[in-house]
Amino acid sequence: MITVTAMKWAPPFAAGQVRDHRVRWILNEVGWPYEVRLVDAPTMKSPGYRGGLQPFGQLPVLEEEGRAPLFESGAIVLDVAMRAGRCIGAEGTPERAAAIQWVVAGLNSVEPFLFNVAEVEYFMDDAAVKAARRPVVVAQAKERLALLEQARGGRPWFVGDAFSVADLMLGSILKIAQSLNLLDELPALAAWQQTVLARPAHVQAERDQKDEIARHTAADMRYDAVPKTSAP
């Protein structure tokens, strides 16, 4: 049986966006059953978790009997798709190479720009610093999103003529843009994303994550139990 790690609780703005939803999504797409192991902050920062599952104390991690644990949502999505032979082109084809390309591009060339805006919106307390930085990171994010839409070129899918991990990853990443109203000037890209997110496999993945988060509170994460001197 496959087990996926997920946080017991996340703040409202993150519910449905925590990265384990990507792993749930691809597992739903390929039809592989899985269980979820909910973890708290001390568990994620523990020597056992860092030493055996995720060296940076993050999530998700995919655990599967007979295989070494696998971390990083992009790596897990690609691994599952390639092993299942679903949502990705056949080995050695240009379609597979292109799908991998867009997964990596989404994580490295799009998501960081959106995270910069999220950092300003949700984590900056200094009003003056926030006011000065926000226009800069918003402009950068919007420019990057416009380039993404230009690359899509109006096609229904980023690779070939069917849904692939490229669409899964980019649709997931754009959740950040959607929640921050960064897609308002790109209605075609926003409409494409909504089509991707309407897939039953995603709807179920997001619902499951939100339901688990709703059953817990910030206290369940036990942030106060993490030693202040622990590594970040």
Residue 141 has pLDDT above 90, yes or no: yes
Task: Give the pLDDT band of residue 66 (cuts 50, 70, 90).
Answer: very high
Residue 199 sits at the vertex; the CA angle it makes with 165 and 86, to the nearest 5 degrees, is 35
User: What are the residues facing 2 on neighbouring strands?
Assistant: 34, 64
The yes-or-no verdict on residue 164 having pLDDT over 80 is yes
pLDDT tens-digit map of 187-210 = 999 999 999 999 999 999 999 999
pLDDT of amino acid 71: 98
Within 8 A by CB and 6+ apart from 2, the residues are: 27, 32, 33, 34, 35, 62, 63, 64
- 2-86+202-225: which CATH topology? Glutaredoxin (3.40.30)
Q: State mean pLDDT over 92-115.
A: 98
pTM here?
A: 0.95
- pLDDT given for residue 227 in this prediction: 78
Look up residue 17 and give its amino acid. Q
Residue 229: pLDDT over 70: no
pLDDT at residue number 232: 42
Say how far apart CA 173 and CA 151 lie, in whole Å: 16
Query: Residue ranges per domain, the chain?
Result: 2-86+202-225, 94-199
> How remote is the C-alpha of 61 from its chain's centroid?
13
pLDDT at site 23: 98
Q: What is the mean pLDDT of the chain?
A: 96
Give the separation between CA 191 and CA 60, rounded to whole angstroms.
28
19 has pLDDT over 70: yes
Q: How far apart are CA 150 and CA 33, in angstroms?
A: 37
Q: Using an 8 Å Cβ cutoff, are 75 and 60 in contact? A: no
Antiparallel, parallel or unpaired: β 34-39 and 2-7: parallel
Is it the case that residue 219 has pLDDT exceeding 50?
Answer: yes
**Is the CB of residue 169 less than 8 Å from the CB of residue 103?**
yes
Residue 231 has pLDDT above 70, yes or no: no
Instruction: Find all residues with CB under 8 Å of 36, minimum gap 6, and list them.
Output: 3, 4, 5, 6, 20, 24, 208, 212
Cα(107)–Cα(179) distance, integer angstroms: 18
Q: Span 30-50, mean pLDDT?
A: 97
94-199 has which fold?
Answer: Glutathione S-transferase Yfyf (Class Pi); Chain A, domain 2 (1.20.1050)
